[in-house]
Amino acid sequence: MPEGHTIHRLAADYRERFGGRAVRVTSPQGKFSDAAALLDGTVLETTEAHGKHLFLGFGAGEWVHIHLGLFGKVTFGGAPVPPPTDTVRLRLAHDDAHVDLRGPTACALVTDPEKQAVHDRLGPDPLRDGDDPARAWRRVSRSRTTIAALLMDQKVIAGVGNVYRAEVLFRHGIDPYRAGKDVSETEWAAIWQDLVTLMREGVRTNRIDTVRPEHTPEAMGRPPRVDDHGGEVYVYRRAHLPCHICGGEIRTADLAARNLFWCPGCQRR
DNA sequence: TAAGTATGTTAAG
DNA sequence: TTAACCTACTTAC
């Protein structure tokens, strides 16, 4: 379930479990077999995440560039290593553990310059120390595109997906259809800082929780949420349900082929 | 068994 | 704007 927090968490998990060790590299499904053969038996030196892109560094300028897309999944497991199922694109293993990658949009061996080209086309990432929100602000403040679309544009800001997009706009009371140029610099600074906090928490817990303590089901005497997407949220996938704060009906719409959710009562144009 | 859905992206028209 | 790609799970028939 991949937004940026998932990928940063994966970078840490791959590094912790396989970093600094020689690993067996295979591609049971076959689409990565040639590259897997080249890497087999070499040491995983480092890992890195930028937005939703994951890089596994095998030294000598050899990187595996992974993008999970909508369906990709990574599962870690221990030893003994079980026989792989036929959808495993990439398996790393050593004597104590293994990890399987299934269904990624991208899994390719790339060089340093090719990796750099990926960084160059991504905007600043709230989860990368030192990334500059002003770079994103320059684009947002000059754009007639909606803030909802801009938050999903990885060239503008890297790592935000459909859940963080909907939730951060709700938390700041901003209507998703407001144009970027009509968002104030103060509002943008607050959105960025909030994303830093929310996404760091997401890396820690491996899920997306955006509801403030005073609005949780327990605090408000509501029944627990039924939806199974993992975290506690205000509007994501809550179409036609009452808003936790104003009680009005949460709306949903298609925006650039993705589901948008917002509360017209709490979010202002 | 088939259809529908999902926290994503790219390329073609 | 649409289709294509990748997987797994749920629901309908």
Q: pLDDT value at position A59?
A: 85
Q: Which two tokens stand for residue A251?
A: 């709306």
Q: Report the distance separating Cα A189 and Cα A136, nearest Å.
A: 10
Band of residue A53 on the pLDDT scale cut at 50, 70, 90: very high
CB A146 within 8 A of CB A178: yes
CB A11 within 8 A of CB A69: no
- A15, A184, A22, A169: which is closest to A94 by C-alpha? A22
A80 CA, C3 C1': separation in Å?
42
A162 CA, B1 C1': separation in Å?
32
Q: A154: Cβ under 7 Å from strand B?
A: yes
Instruction: Look at residue A28 and tell me whether its pLDDT is greater than 80.
Output: yes
Q: A9, A17, A52, A115: which is the annotated catalytic residue?
A: A52
A233 CA, B9 C1': separation in Å?
25
Q: Report the distance separating Cα A82 and Cα A86, nearest Å.
A: 12
Q: Report the distance separating Cα A126 and Cα A199, nearest Å.
A: 8
Q: A257: Cβ under 7 Å from strand C?
A: yes
Determine the average pLDDT of the residues in A33-44: 97
CB A199 within 8 A of CB A161: no
**Whole-number percent of chain A with pLDDT over 90:** 91
Q: A257: Cβ under 7 Å from strand B?
A: yes
Q: pLDDT value at position A221?
A: 85
Q: pLDDT value at position A256?
A: 85
- Residue-wise pLDDT tens digits, A86-123: 999 999 999 999 999 999 999 999 999 999 999 999 99
Q: A9: Cβ under 7 Å from strand B?
A: no
Q: A146: Cβ under 7 Å from strand B?
A: no
Domains delineated in chain A: 4-120 (3.20.190.10), 133-262 (1.10.8.50)
Q: pLDDT value at position A167?
A: 97
Report how far apart, in Å, the C-alpha atoms of A197 and of each of A23, A95, A244 are: 34, 37, 21
CB A118 within 8 A of CB A106: no
Q: pLDDT value at position A204?
A: 97
Q: A48, A225, A258, A264: which is the annotated catalytic residue?
A: A258
CB A8 within 8 A of CB A129: no
Q: What's the pTM? A: 0.96
- Whose tokens are 């627990």? That residue is A224
- Residue-wise pLDDT tens digits, A211-264: 999 998 888 888 777 666 778 999 999 999 999 999 999 999 999 889 999 999
- Residue-wise pLDDT tens digits, A148-183: 999 999 999 999 999 999 999 999 999 999 999 999
A71 CA, B4 C1': separation in Å?
15
CB A7 within 8 A of CB A122: no
Q: Which residues of A146-179 are buried (b: 16+ CB within 10 A; e: fewer)?
A: bbbbbbbbbebbbbbbbbbbbbbbbbbebbbebe
- A143, A141, A146: which is closest to A185 by C-alpha? A141
